Each structure stands twice: as C-alpha cells, then as structure tokens.
Amino acid sequence: MTEYAHLYIDGAWVPASGDFLDVIEPATEQVAATIRLGDEGDVDRAVAAARAALPAWSATPLSRRVEYLLALAAGMRAARDELADLIATEMGAPIGLGRAVHVGLPASVLESHADVARELELERRVGTSIVTKEPRGVVAAITPWNYPLHQIVAKLAPALAAGCTVVLKPSVEAPLSTYRFFRLLEEIGLPRGVVNLVTGRGREVGEALVRHPGVDMVSFTGSTEAGRRIGTIAADLVRPVTLELGGKSANVILDDADLPAAIQAGVANAFLNAGQTCSAWTRMIVPASRRDEAVDLVRAEVAALAVGDPKDRSTRIGPLVSEAQRASVRRYIDGAIADGHTLVAGGSTAPDDMPRGWYVRPTVFADVDRASALAQEEVFGPVLAMISARDEDEAVAIANDSAFGLAGAVWSADEDRAHRVAARMQTGQIDVNGARFNPLAPFGGYKQSGIGREFGTYGVEEYLQVKSVQL
C-alpha cells in the first residue's frame, strides 16, 4: 500500500496538514493507498504561490506556453500504461478504456489546445480602440472522480494557454493518477507556482478555495447540487465561474434510421465508464413503430458487454467508484421496477460471479414514463431508459423534457432531417449519426447542465478577460 502525504505547492512536494484518508479499490474493496488531505492553511499557501507566479507566467510568450502543453501531452503518452493502471485501481475503469480515453483523450486535448493557442487573437483594432484579451488570473479548478485526468486537463490546458495560474483540488475518491500527473508537470520543468495541488473534501478545502480572496475565477465540474453551492458563493463575490454539471442526454432515433447502428452506438455510449459519464446518452428515444425491434437489439448488445476485473483487457464494464455510488444506482433500479417499467436486461443485484467489488449489472428498462425518476434524474451508473415516441415531434418534446441539456444524439437516413431535429434540441452538443468527439468544438450545457464552455477557442476564452483602450 502506498501513502501520499504531500501536496504540490510552489514547485515542491510539501507535507499536507489535514487528516489521512484511505483510497479503496472498487474491484476488490481493499485499501489501495492512503492520502493525507490539505486544509485551509494549505489552500492559503497554494493560492499565494499561484498569485506570485502569475506575473511571470502571464508574460511568458505564447509560443513557450505551447511548448509546455505539448511536453505534457508527450509525457502523458509515455506514461500511458502506468496512468491507466492507476485509474483502474482508483475508480474501476477498464484498462483498455483507461489507455484510450482516460489517458489518450486528455493528451489529445492538450495537443488541441496547443493548436488553439497558436491562433489566439489577443489584440485587435476596433474603430478607435485597441481591444486586448488578458488572463483572468488565479484559477481555482475543482474536478470530479469519473474522468480524473481528462477533467483536470479540460481546465488546466485552457488556463495555461491563456496565461493563468492554477490551484487544483481533485476528487478524494480517485486522486492517485493526479499525483502521477503532477510528477509529469515536474518533469517538463513547468515554472514553480504555475500549477498547485491541494487535496481535500469539497465542504472544507473546496469551499475555502472558492471563497479565497486571492482567487480570480472558479472552474468546477461535478454534481448539479455542488455546482449550485459554488455558483452561489461565486455570485456573492462577483467572481466568474464555469460550471460543467449533470446530464440526462437523449439519443433520438428516428423512424428512418439505421436501427442496428444506432442501437450499437447508443448502448456503447450509455454504458461507457460503467455509465459514470455526465454526457452519456441515458435516454434512448425510439420510434413506437419499431419498439420491439429496438428492444431486441438493445438486449443483444447488452448481453455482449463483458463485466469484470478492470485490469483484464477483455472487460468492457468495471465496478462503480464507491459503495455509496453502487447503493444509489441500485435504488434507482429498484425504484424503476416498482414503477412498473419493463426490465429488458440486468437488475440491481451484482453479477453472479462477482461477490466482491462494487459492480452493477448493465441494466435496461423499456416503456419508461418520461416523467418518472428514471427519465428525469441522473443515475450515474450503467442504466439505460428506453422511451417510445409516436413521431418526430414527440421525440423532440421528450428529448427537451428535462432539467438538463448537456449532450445528445440524432439518427436518421436523411442528414438534413437529422440536422433539423438537432436544431430543435435544447442541449449543448449533439452527435449526428454517430459523429465522433471533436476537442476543438465547445463542450458545455444548457439549463441545469452548467454555465460556460470547455475545449477549443471557446474554452480558452473563458479564461480571458477583455480590455479596451481608446485612442
């Protein structure tokens, strides 16, 4: 068992001041490591370091900042296997998914931000004024456990490209890969104080960071409940904030779609990362006229999903991150059964051959009431709700009948029709006929899914403020 008792502040590993906490491996329910948390004093020291580093970093040529981003991406790719193993240990993601998505995707995001940074227009003439864009300053970045490195990079890359300095508070549920990531920051020679690490619980270290007078901006990814709390604090302080929160995304399959292709992609998306993905398409809206065909296809796809040890290369679905998360998902499944929804696959009991580990079988319900908890609330586990729609208008109405609006999908043999439906959907990003994720496009939500955008030029703009100089 490894002990992590230090924080990374002002370019050095320094002893943390708070309590010790065990990190439990979801697949074995055994202690994998012990970490020591930070406290308010550690937050003070980290913010002071970021504040002191800000003038020099913001004045660093953009070309040099790009070099650091690319060096960090190369470091992540070189350490891919080690990082993926740590993620499998700390939050149960299958090792193959870890290499490709948990490590490979954030490395690509770093590279895409290097491309964006090269093209940034930081000054322009507007009539009789010079308009400049300047870094917001010290950023408090608070990240979740479900994609530990991806969420860190989604904040770190644009902040560094913009010339900001950062104090990061990662999730205490999955911190191990973050420690290794900060070793990479050391290895590339990032100047001291530019990025700092303070671990801790949200109500203690997170709130201390959000409230700190030395912080200029807050960037948070996590639950809608926590986002409301952070947004309230930031509003009281008149402090800019970006919030990437929950989702209940709709996968709209129209009556002329290639149903097998749409079902295959939809199931893969809904159960990615054991369903612990804010943008997962957890509502599958199918034509009522093809309901039985869709159910049969979904049942076959789910049956082929290999549930097991996250360190086995053949595993598609690993355990949930914690016992509490498993209990929450089981309550939703049992509630859906009690509500009379049609159970197509799975259920709340663990797989028969897995008595240990926080596993939940991939579960699908059909004939789901659009007003039910299963259709309206974010389960954050391997549970898919199938809802039938009589026609295109009803499908759009069901898709928009949500407090969330983070992601979604549309499938149709007629691409123009798909685009017309996408234009009617109230959500931040939509895939048409299985289009792939684009790290240059903005990511963020409508309604209670958040405020602001990440990735591409749109993401970097969040970390810049505008000044006009009249001539």
Q: Are residues 263 and 145 in the same domain?
A: no
Q: Are residues 214 and 283 in the same domain?
A: no
Catalytic residue, candidates 90, 244, 454, 461 = 244
Q: Are residues 161 and 256 in the same domain?
A: no
Average of per-residue pLDDT across 67-88 = 98
Model confidence pLDDT, tens digit, residues 118-162: 999 999 999 999 999 999 999 999 999 999 999 999 999 999 999
Residue 75 lies in a domain: yes
Average of per-residue pLDDT across 189-203 = 97
Residue 132 lies in a domain: yes
Q: Are residues 335 and 208 in the same domain?
A: no
Q: Are residues 261 and 232 in the same domain?
A: no
Residue 271 lies in a domain: yes
Please give the biggest Cα pair distance in the chain: 74
What would the two tokens of residue 210 be?
A: 């959000």
Residue 464 lies in a domain: yes
Q: Cα dist. 223→199, 229, 279, 289 in Å?
A: 18, 10, 12, 36
Residue 293: give the domain boundaries. 250-439
Residue 444 lies in a domain: no
Q: Are residues 238 and 309 in the same domain?
A: no
Q: Do 427 and 410 contact (CB within 8 A), yes or no?
A: no
Q: Cα dist. 302→116, 161, 382, 387, 415 in Å?
A: 39, 41, 10, 17, 28
For a pLDDT cut of 70, what percent of the chain falls above it? 100
Q: Are residues 121 and 7 in the same domain?
A: yes
The domain tally of the chain equals 2
Q: Do 85 and 98 contact (CB within 8 A), yes or no?
A: yes
Q: Cα dist. 106→54, 214, 378, 417 in Å?
A: 24, 28, 24, 33
Active site residue 278: yes
Q: Are residues 386 and 323 in the same domain?
A: yes
Question: What is the layout of strands, in order, in the sheet containing 20-25?
Answer: 2-4, 30-36, 20-25
For a pLDDT cut of 90, what percent of the chain falls above it? 98
Mean pLDDT of the chain: 97
Phi-psi region of 57 (alpha: psi -120 to 50; beta: other; left: phi over 0): alpha
Active site residue 111: no
Q: Are residues 330 and 214 in the same domain?
A: no
Model confidence pLDDT, tens digit, residues 246-274: 999 999 999 999 999 999 999 999 999 99
Catalytic residue, candidates 40, 278, 301, 462 = 278
Q: Are residues 161 and 303 in the same domain?
A: no
Looking at residue 352, its amino acid is: D
Q: Are residues 230 and 187 in the same domain?
A: yes
Residue 194 lies in a domain: yes
Instruction: List the CATH number of the domain containing 395.
Output: 3.40.309.10
Model confidence pLDDT, tens digit, residues 340-353: 999 999 999 988 88
Residue 350 has what pLDDT? 87
pTM assigned to the model? 0.96
Model confidence pLDDT, tens digit, residues 61-75: 999 999 999 999 999
Q: Is residue 107 within a helix (H) or strand (E), and if so which, with residue range? A: helix 104-118
Residue 367 has what pLDDT? 98
Q: Are residues 375 and 340 in the same domain?
A: yes
CA–CA distance, 468 with 471 (Å, rounded to integer): 10
Instruction: List the CATH number of the domain containing 13.
Output: 3.40.605.10
pLDDT of residue 275 exceeding 80? yes
Residue 142 lies in a domain: yes
pLDDT of residue 1 exceeding 70? no
Write the DSSP string, 170-212.
--SSS-HHHHHHHHHHHHTTPPTTSEEE----IIIIIHHHHH-
Residue 297 lies in a domain: yes
